[in-house]
Structure 1
Amino acid sequence: MAPRKRRPTQPPPSRHPWAADTELVGLVLELTANAPDSLYTQYTVGLHAWFLDQVRQTNPELSAYLHDGQSEKPFTLSRLDGDFLTSGKNLKLKPNTTYRWYITALYQPLTQWLAEWVDHLPDMIQLRRAVLNIRRWHIALAPTTYPHLSTPTPTHPQSLSLSFLTPTSFRRKGHHFPLPVPTNLFHSYLRRWNDFSDHPFNQTAFLDWVEENVVIQRHRLESMKVAAGKKGVVTGFTGAIALGLDSGASQHPEFSQLFHTLAQFAPYCGTGHKTPFGLGQTRLGWLSPETPALPSMETLLAERISELTQQFLAQRQRQGGSRAQDIAETWATILARREMGESLQAIADDLDMPYQTVKTYAKLARRAILNNDR
């Protein structure tokens, strides 16, 4: 395993809206649009790039660390929460409608950077041709620390609920696993906890306890495919789940405490993978089924990428290994987004690929589809 990149340090700011020792916080920005601008389907890639650039402008070392310097990402970014218009193959913003964008941080240097940033917010976010005005910000998840979050309490309820607002998925044997199995949930939370807190717990022992003692009491779940990150498709679940403890759980009170601590931690860290691209947004409690769904164009794009990926894989004589899958996903992502009306240059920018390479892949993908139709 490669050595972990040294984490940057940052002195506490002179002014901040929360204590200087804060390690976790969640914000929500309220945004509005002046015009019915088109919003490209994978705009979460643009939000991710915009946020990292905001950090880079004042703290390049921290930005580099957030981008690629650690095994776990110390932040989550949501999709835009609000009403969209659909027009042909595009999403459109509704003028004078409020959109909410959630940002969480679970790493002290980042929470302190956010404290200064909210004091000097830019006027707008530009996502290609779409402009969103930043009106105000609020605290969405209370500022806290890891020791405070893990403070023992005399009693705990025997059950708790978690709601998953956006598609949530785990990686398992090279595939997506779209089910909230308790060991997967708490493995996801504990990895992040152990990576960013100074109070790590034994992972194997705790997950064995979860396997034996945590039971699913009820659930309301729906699965869907969504294009997430720079390429490829994720099959995930949304909905809510209620978890309870078996009678034998009381034999290990320290694990019962950790079970409840990590549930409190879940809204800050998100669930599963690709949380910096809007997936795995999690809340404590059983939320109503009226939680807004993803715009349908995102689902359509995901389904098209998945369909094309399978076609390209079927055409390749050697389908084993990750290289064939990676090439098929790249071709499928480029062609599907091109079919949705995006320019090759915009796709190249999002994928961090040379324009000529994207152009070549688009031609090869079209040729493969034509050959398949003959």
Structure 2
Amino acid sequence: MVRRPKNKINLPNSDPDWPLETELVGLEFELATKVDVSLYPQYTIGLHAWFLDQVRSTNPELSAYLHDSESEKPFTISALDGELVSSGKQLKIFAHQTYRWSVTALSGRVVQWLAQWVKNLPSEVSLRNAPLQILACNIVHAPTTYTQLLNAEDGGNLSLRFISPTSFRRKGHHLPLPVPMNVFHSYLRRWNDFSGIPIEQDTFLAWVDESVLITRHQIVSLKILAGKKGAVTGFTGAVEFSLTKQASHNPEFYQLFYALGKLAPYCGTGHKTTFGLGQTRLGWSSQVVADVPEVESFLASRIEELTEIFTAQRKRTGGDRASEVASKWATILARREMGESLQVVAEDLQMPYETVKTYAKLARRALKVE
């Protein structure tokens, strides 16, 4: 750990300027607050917004790409790792406790920005009513390239730990299971977008379907808040994958299988990885991570309940984009029920206040009809 001299944090065991060819890196920040403070359950929205604001203030061109690009997002962020407990309708974090927060970069452009940013970090991560002082910054996933991942030693079983709730989208619904095709498809999408070594998706996924087995697993499912709107059912725990004897008959895909496994800690698994979901690590652990604060689980369940009601109503009336609108209504109403102001909800969702106010009225009216 490196303590901060003045307004700078140096990376331990490494020159702050990692090799220019670096395409992937993972950083972990150690954070603390001087007094006990409360956080709203969807605080990862604030972490996401703060990080993007850091990019915007120093590199507007990169900021526009991160906001507007239709490709996969070339970064991930985690939720806070540390003691968070439910306190009424909010979460509480405690003074003089250390909380860890990680950021990874998946492309050379973001890595280069990080290299400059860490030389002059701000003094704190600013969340609503909860300034978190930056104590230290460590490299947790070593600087590397996609070619180096591809050429690294491979063989044997591949074990992955899913340390934050992980879920996939399938036919308009959430799939909270580590099905090999879904797991490796999520890695391949990032690989094809950022590696410069594209792989034919359908052919590789057909090989995964035939060749990748689940040797053992220890997982649990749970409901969790998901980004700016909605909730998902995800899983945490550990999964061990192996290959059939015939898998090595395709050496290209055999090699890629292990490269994608090594990519997993950098890119995360499934969707909403820029809001803390899908955090992934290499190696097996029998300890299943499933500690979601009660208030967060309650809000996620309420959003899911309301989404189902509003979706059913809109489908009956032939409304377009039923699921999308239902999710917005559900998120707004559930957060209002938790005591949050509509102005704050509007800011988080990046929607006009009047629109959010109208949606809240429509949602309450629809709920009475039900």
TM-score range, shorter chain: over 0.9
Which residue does 2:340 correspond to in 1?
342
CA distance in 2, matches of 1:99, 1:319: 47
Please give the secondary structure, in 2, of the residue aligned with 1:342. Answer: coil
Structure 1 pair 164–312 and aligned structure 2 pair: CA distance change class (3 A)? same
Which residue does 2:172 correspond to in 1?
174
Please give the secondary structure, in 2, of the residue aligned with 1:125. Answer: strand
Identity over aligned residues, as a percent?
62
* Displacement after TM superposition at 1:322 (Å): 5.6
* Displacement after TM superposition at 1:236 (Å): 1.2
* Alpha carbons 1:334, 1:362 under 8 Å: kept: yes
* Alpha carbons 2:236, 2:288 under 8 Å: kept: no
Structure 1 pair 139–85 and aligned structure 2 pair: CA distance change class (3 A)? same
Please give the secondary structure, in 1, of the residue aligned with 2:215. Answer: strand
Structure 1 pair 218–284 and aligned structure 2 pair: CA distance change class (3 A)? same
Amino acid at match of 1:41: P
* Displacement after TM superposition at 1:100 (Å): 0.5
Which residue does 2:206 correspond to in 1?
208
* Displacement after TM superposition at 1:69 (Å): 1.4
Which residue does 2:11 correspond to in 1?
none
> Structure 1: which 4+ aligned runs deviate by more than 6 Å?
none
Amino acid at match of 1:53: D
Q: Does 1:89 align with 2:92?
A: no
Which residue does 1:134 correspond to in 2?
134
Q: Which structure 1 residue ranges, 5 or more long, are not aligned?
A: 1-14
Residue correspondences, number: 356
Please give the secondary structure, in 1, of the residue aligned with 2:326. Answer: helix
* Displacement after TM superposition at 1:319 (Å): 6.0
Q: Encode CA deviations 1:307-362: one digit per residue, 9 max, x unaligned.
A: 11122233346366761222211111011111112111100001111111111221
Amino acid at match of 1:307: E
Which residue does 2:3 correspond to in 1?
none
* Displacement after TM superposition at 1:160 (Å): 1.2
Picking from 266, 269, 275, the partner of 1:268 is: 266
Amino acid at match of 2:282: L
* Displacement after TM superposition at 1:85 (Å): 2.8
Which residue does 2:12 correspond to in 1?
none
Output the aligned Cα RMSD. 1.6
CA distance in 2, matches of 1:115, 1:178: 35
Please give the secondary structure, in 2, of the residue aligned with 1:179. Answer: coil
Which residue does 2:59 correspond to in 1?
59
* Displacement after TM superposition at 1:45 (Å): 0.8
Does 270-279 or 288-297 show the bigger shift?
A: 288-297
Q: Does 1:370 align with 2:368?
A: yes
CA distance in 1, matches of 2:256, 2:263: 10
Q: Which structure 2 residue ranges, 5 or more long, are not aligned?
A: 1-14
Q: Encode CA deviations 1:156-197: one digit per residue, 9 max, x unaligned.
A: 332110111111111111111111111111111111111101
* Alpha carbons 1:215, 1:244 under 8 Å: kept: yes
Please give the secondary structure, in 1, of the residue aligned with 2:151. Answer: coil
Which residue does 1:300 correspond to in 2?
298
Question: Pairwise mapping of residues 125-204 of structure 1 onto structure 2 (< 5 A)?
Answer: 125-151=125-151, 153=153, 156-204=154-202
CA distance in 1, matches of 2:319, 2:147: 43
Structure 1 pair 322–189 and aligned structure 2 pair: CA distance change class (3 A)? farther
Q: Encode CA deviations 1:78-100: one digit per residue, 9 max, x unaligned.
A: 00010013211110111111110
Structure 1 pair 322–233 and aligned structure 2 pair: CA distance change class (3 A)? farther
Please give the secondary structure, in 2, of the residue aligned with 1:256. Answer: helix
Which residue does 1:18 correspond to in 2?
18
Q: Encode CA deviations 1:56-76: one digit per residue, 9 max, x unaligned.
A: 111000011111213100000
Structure 1 pair 322–79 and aligned structure 2 pair: CA distance change class (3 A)? farther
Amino acid at match of 1:66: L
* Displacement after TM superposition at 1:291 (Å): 3.6
Does 130-139 or 320-329 show the bigger shift?
A: 320-329
CA distance in 2, matches of 1:273, 1:290: 20
CA distance in 1, matches of 2:290, 2:166: 15
CA distance in 1, matches of 2:319, 2:139: 45
Please give the secondary structure, in 1, of the residue aligned with 2:110. Answer: helix
CA distance in 1, matches of 2:178, 2:36: 37
Which residue does 1:278 correspond to in 2?
276
CA distance in 2, matches of 1:313, 1:70: 26
Structure 1 pair 319–306 and aligned structure 2 pair: CA distance change class (3 A)? farther
Which residue does 1:100 correspond to in 2?
100
* Displacement after TM superposition at 1:369 (Å): 2.3
Please give the secondary structure, in 1, of the residue aligned with 2:321. Answer: helix
Structure 1 pair 116–337 and aligned structure 2 pair: CA distance change class (3 A)? same
Which residue does 2:8 correspond to in 1?
none
Please give the secondary structure, in 1, of the residue aligned with 2:266. Answer: helix
